[in-house]
Amino acid sequence: NWRTDANGHLTKDAEGDDKTDYARWRLHDNDGRLTWRYLETDEENENWPQTFYDKYNLGLPTGAPELPKAKTPLDAATNGLEFFSKLQMPTGHWACEYGGPMFLLPGVVITWYITNTPIPPEYAVEIKRYLFARQNPVDGGWGLHIEGHSSAFGTVMTYVILRILGASEEDPRMIKARGFAHKLGGALYAPHWAKVWLSLLGVMDWSCANPVPPELWLLPDWVPIAPYRWWVHMRMVFLPMSYLWSKKWVFPQNELTSQLRNEIYAQPYESIDFASHRNSIAKEDNYYPKTMFLNVVNSLLVNVWTPLLRFSALAKKAEDWVWELIRMEDENTNYAGLAPVSNPLNFVCCYIHDGEGSESVRKHREVLHEYLWMKGEGMLCNGTNGAQVWDTAFITQAVSVAGFAEDPKWRPMLTKALEFLDNHQLRENVPNQDKCYRQHRKGAWPFSNKVQGYTVSDCTAEGLRSVLQLQEIHGYPKLVSADRLKDAVDCILLLQNATGGFSEYESRRGSPLLEWLNAAEVFGGIMISYDHVECTTASITAMSLFSRFYPDYRAEEIKAAKHKAVDYIKRVQNPDGSWYGNWGICYTYAALFALESLSSVGETYRTSEYSRRGCEFLLSKQKEDGGWGESYLSSELHVYTQHEMSQVVQTAWVCLSLMEADYPDPEPIRRGIKLLMSRQQTNGEWLQESIEGVFNMSCMISYPNYKFYWPIRALGLFSQKFGNEALF
């Protein structure tokens, strides 16, 4: 029961916009499920004091003390951990913002609006502030992600939700945004997903959206294009979308939607021939133009199949089966869903199918909040329901690498972290695994928490590695039993593809030719589970460590899997020695994992040509100031692109890569380490620099905890390897 009345704590920010009272926000940690609460009464506010992590995440002064100046790398690592340890959450993990993409909030806000879900006023105020804070000052638009150029997708959708949240069409920032949207051709030139959302909202006609037939879901799995074979995210997005497309459901027109019809187009609404704009798309948005093949398929679907061949009995059967799959996804994830595109769409399906007062709608209303995040600029939508397991695994590894794991000072912190990893390992497969196309998950670790509960290969690998380090090397309690460690290995082995490479969520089920059906326009490489260097290498490293302690378990299979994986890594190394990274920016990120895993099978700078070329590539990119900095454009363009500034996170990645590869000359590494130390603040923290992560080649995503644990790990390893010399 979300409040609908104003709460009376509003002030104004520097722009003159409403702002909530930041002293009233708290991050609530319910067994790793995170929600931000706004405390209404003074009494509540006094009884639940703001913590360090609340203040830090809200951008409020934390009062973190000044620390003795770091002279050596290890001092700097200690200071970093001193600060970072204060951000640990009560259940043992580290929480953080996971923003970046700008196309997620629109789905959430439109969903609230069309399902008559009251938007808590403090949320509305803060989402508006965030969106205005992220408006591109030059053209007044918004992009696909916070650092990207403005696009029709970003601008039109953000404009629409700002209006839903109460921004006036007369606001000069809205006038500017509207002008820019019109310049790009207005809503007609936005990509397919925007057209679906706008049609649901009733400010566009469904004929403008390319078809998403639910009948596809009736195809048997052996058919090469069956949804069973698609990348899990596309499967889960197109599932509810196909239901909604089939229903052609439209939110009843009201005053606001009538106004929006007049605002988001460059011509009068009544004069638009929507069907003729199915394929209109602004060049700013068209990262992956639809193939000729897909255009022909779409045109056959629109002109022949829908009017002449689509039978209602079959459509009904397909809708029923799609609904069944939606229901299974909701139940398997306790309504949290895979990610915040599919989840709001599922919510709308529940609203249509089950009705407003239903249990499913109530659950969705509640759980959707787990995607929202508060920061100094306002409220945004995270890319998943957090990065809890992922960050926690890497933090414990950093502490271990730095040699702090057996220091009694850090024992309580690491014990809690281990408890979190223990708690969030997936213990059972989903009950209807085959029926709903899910991958085996018993023994896996997910990216966020067990509620979301999807297997991810490298999250499993990193979780396994952390647990092994803590339990087997550093003498922590054996919370995760040997059987469960073996379950994790079973999961990893199941995820290897015939190529030798590993994908993230599922082993590959379809041909790369399926990319011809990529209909999203704004993303590349989304149709099947591809091999990823990072996932492959993380798996090798973890299995190598596992075999040290359990040499007999599936030894032959592990050996063979590692062998094939190493071959794959060598095969996909580019002639210049680099690897393309799919989930971090970009060549720098991939090199870290690739070089570390090669070293885990004994291939280093001195012994392996692959390792040597990898190191030479990185060295050729070092900047004058001793650091490294790679722009997100590398991910988009598939060409190494220098960032104008060195970046702490990437500098740490490269220093680690070179050290893991046993690069013999400490000098270039020392220069990188000095850069890390020079960027550290007096209280031990590092400040946020450019965005660190990516997905689907075109959309960037933030990993704010990277600026802590990667430098700590690099500084720690440097002092272990080269002695803890004073550098300042």
Contact positions toward ligand LAN, by CB under 6 A?
A: 233, 237, 339, 341, 383-384, 390, 447, 456, 458-459, 504, 523, 534-535, 583, 695-696, 701
Helices (H), 333-387: 342-354, 359-367
CB-based burial of residue 550 (10 Å sphere; 0-12 exposed, 13-18 middle, 19+ buried)?
Answer: middle
Could you tell me the end-to-end alpha-carbon distance of the chain, in angstroms, rounded to an integer?
Answer: 56
Q: Which residue do the tokens 């302690």 mark?
A: 549
> Using CA atoms, how far apart are residues 492 and 513, in angstroms rounded to an integer?
26
Q: What number of other Cβ atoms are within 10 A of residue 625's Cβ?
A: 15
Measured in whole angstroms, the distance separating CA 94 from the mean position of its chain's CA atoms is 16
* DSSP classification of residue 693: E
Least Cβ distance, residue 113 to ligand LAN (angstroms): 20
C-alpha span between 414 and 405 (Å, rounded): 7
Nearer to ligand LAN, 77 or 543 (CB): 543
Q: How far apart are the C-alpha atoms of 606 and 620, rounded to whole Å? A: 18
Other beta carbons less than 10 A from residue 722's beta carbon = 14
The Cα-based distances of 337 to 182, 245, 367 in angstroms read 35, 20, 9
DSSP result, 475-512: -----S-HHHHHHHHHHHHHTB-TTS-B-SSS---S-G
Output the smallest distance, CB 535 to ligand LAN, in A. 6
- CB-wise, 38 or 447, nearer to ligand LAN? 447
Considering beta carbons, is residue 79 or 539 the nearer one to ligand LAN? 539
DSSP string for 634-655: HHHHTS--B-SS--HHHHHHHH
Residue 628: φ, ψ to 5°: -125, 150
How near is the Cβ of 241 to ligand LAN at its closest, in Å? 11
d(CA 717, CA 403): 8
Minimum Å gap between C-beta 647 and ligand LAN is 18
Name which of 265 and 447 has its Cβ closer to ligand LAN. 447
- Minimum separation from the CB atom of position 583 to ligand LAN (A): 4
Q: How far is the CB of 193 from ligand LAN (least distance, A)?
A: 8
**Closer residue to ligand LAN, CB minimum distance, 78 or 497:** 497
Residue of 259, 7, 220 whose CA lies nearest to 124: 7
Beta strands 372-375 and 33-38, pairing class: unpaired
Rounded Cα distance between 589 and 651, Å, is 10
Q: Nearest Cα to 485, choosing from 535, 537, 440, 547?
A: 547
Distance of closest approach, residue 65 Cβ to ligand LAN, in angstroms = 33
205 in active site: no
Smallest distance from the beta carbon of 584 to ligand LAN, in angstroms? Answer: 7
For the chain, the helix, strand and coil percentages under 3-state DSSP, each to the nearest 5: 50, 5, 40
Query: Which of 54/506 has CB closer to ligand LAN?
Result: 506
Residue with tokens 């913002």: 97
| CA–CA separation, 589 and 609 (whole Å) | 20
Q: Between 132 and 347, whose beta carbon lies closer to ligand LAN?
A: 347
The least CB distance from residue 512 to ligand LAN, in Å, is: 18
Is the CB of 390 or the CB of 404 nearer to ligand LAN?
390
Taking the least distance from each CB to ligand LAN, the nearer of 38 and 371 is: 371
The active-site residue, picked from 54, 391, 422, 458, is 458
Residues designated as active site: 458
